[in-house]
Amino acid sequence: MNHLRIIFMGTPEFAVPSLQILLENNIDVVAVVTAPDKPQGRGQKISYSPVKECALQHNIPVLQPTNLKAPEFLETLKSYQATLQIVVAFRMLPEVVWSMPPLGTFNLHASLLPQYRGAAPINWAIINGEKETGISTFFLKHEIDTGSIIYQEREPIHEDDTVGTLYERLMNKGSQLVLKTVRGIEAGNYPSIPQPADVEIKHAPKIFKETCQINWNTPSEAVRNFVRGLNPHPTAWTIIREKNFKIFRVSVADKKNTEDTPGTIDTDNKQYLYIKTSNGWVSVDELQPEGKKRMAIQEFFRGNKV
């Protein structure tokens, strides 16, 4: 039985349940590494990462390096004499960091590796219309998201899932998998299976604002999946009558006229707003005009016209 001394690395809300479950099970987390504090909002008030908030509540030392290769950071990291490091939603680590503990460093990734390697696996699984995804724990090595898999769990993607709903389920399921992985490593009894090299890989690159513009030259179902895969963040958008709108929800419309050009708008300015796709129409059900709040289409039409 290994006595584990763990350093936990993570930043956003997604990582917090994984840290909490370790602490609830009396796993020895000796330090936390997270992103530097940053000013936020109109008042530019300094805000802590969700992982730092959790660590402070449990009196765990917090390291916030700007440079992961800085000699003083590496010295401090080494001084904790961790036997294992865990990474959940953190940045890419240099080898000098991930190879430091004798038992290595494992990562929780929100997909069924080798599929959806990259920064945005939950978004891309929905955008691509997948019916299933999952979570994986794996050991870090040089190429990103390619190390040997320890455990995986599957998770169905429901018809109306958004990134928000799926994120929530994978976040909680992921924490259980992190605990299972730690228990296996602690007992010295766990799988370590190389990722298959002969499969066609779907990637999950980082999403930027320009990536989020809706392409009306795609089929209705693809538009629906695209919108779901960016709701609530970073959000799909389009230009309607020269104004920018964030689009949160669309449904495939039962509208027969297919002669119009993709991007054509049909509305009564009261109940419905239809937009033409490559093979039909979608109904815009929820949107957000620039500088205003998010609202259902009927609410929007109470004070606005298209």
The DSSP string of 221-253 is HHHHHHHHTTTTTT-EEEEETTEEEEEEEEEEE
Residue 294 scores a pLDDT above 90: yes
| CA 13/CA 53 separation, integer angstroms | 10
Co-location of 158 and 126 in the same domain: yes
Dump pLDDT digits (tens) for 168-193.
Answer: 999 999 999 999 999 999 999 999 99
Co-location of 56 and 117 in the same domain: yes
pLDDT averaged over every residue in the chain: 95
Three-state secondary structure call for residue 301: helix
Residue 10 scores a pLDDT above 90: yes
The pLDDT, as a whole number, for residue 159 is: 97
Residue 237 scores a pLDDT above 90: yes
Q: Note the pTM of the prediction, 2 decimals.
A: 0.94
Q: Is 199 within the bounds of a domain?
A: no
Burial of 163 (0-12, 13-18, 19+ CB in 10 A): buried
Q: Is 34 within the bounds of a domain?
A: yes
Co-location of 103 and 139 in the same domain: yes
Provide the β-strand partners of residue 304: none
Dump pLDDT digits (tens) for 100-148.
Answer: 999 999 999 999 999 999 999 999 999 999 999 999 999 999 888 999 9
| CA 79/CA 71 separation, integer angstroms | 12
Co-location of 62 and 169 in the same domain: yes
| CA 182/CA 188 separation, integer angstroms | 10
The pLDDT, as a whole number, for residue 259 is: 80
Residue 258 scores a pLDDT above 80: no
Residues in the chain: 306
The DSSP string of 35-82 is PPPEEETTTTEEE--HHHHHHHHTT--EE--S-TT-HHHHHHHHHT--
Q: Is 215 within the bounds of a domain?
A: yes
The pLDDT, as a whole number, for residue 142 is: 86
Domain with residue 281: its CATH number is 3.10.25.10
The β-bridge relationship of strands 62-63 and 29-33 is parallel
Q: Which conformational region is residue 81 in: left (phi greater than 0), alpha (psi within -120 to 50 degrees), or beta?
A: left
| Phi, psi (degrees; rounded to nearest 5) at 278 | -70, -25
The pLDDT, as a whole number, for residue 134 is: 98
The pLDDT, as a whole number, for residue 299 is: 95
Q: Is 102 within the bounds of a domain?
A: yes
| CA 2/CA 84 separation, integer angstroms | 10
Residue 306 scores a pLDDT above 90: no
Co-location of 253 and 156 in the same domain: no
Co-location of 173 and 285 in the same domain: no
The pLDDT, as a whole number, for residue 304 is: 86
Dump pLDDT digits (tens) for 16-75.
Answer: 999 999 999 999 999 999 999 988 777 778 889 999 999 999 999 999 999 999 999 999
The pLDDT, as a whole number, for residue 285 is: 97
Q: How many other C-beta atoms are found inside a 10 Å radius of the C-beta of residue 271?
A: 10
Domain with 283, as residue range(s), is 209-303
Q: Is 204 within the bounds of a domain?
A: no
Co-location of 292 and 245 in the same domain: yes
Co-location of 163 and 16 in the same domain: yes
Q: Where are the alpha helices (DSSP H) in the chain?
A: 16-24, 50-57, 71-79, 95-98, 121-127, 163-187, 220-228, 297-303
The mean pLDDT value for 86-92 works out to 96
DSSP letter assigned to residue 153: E
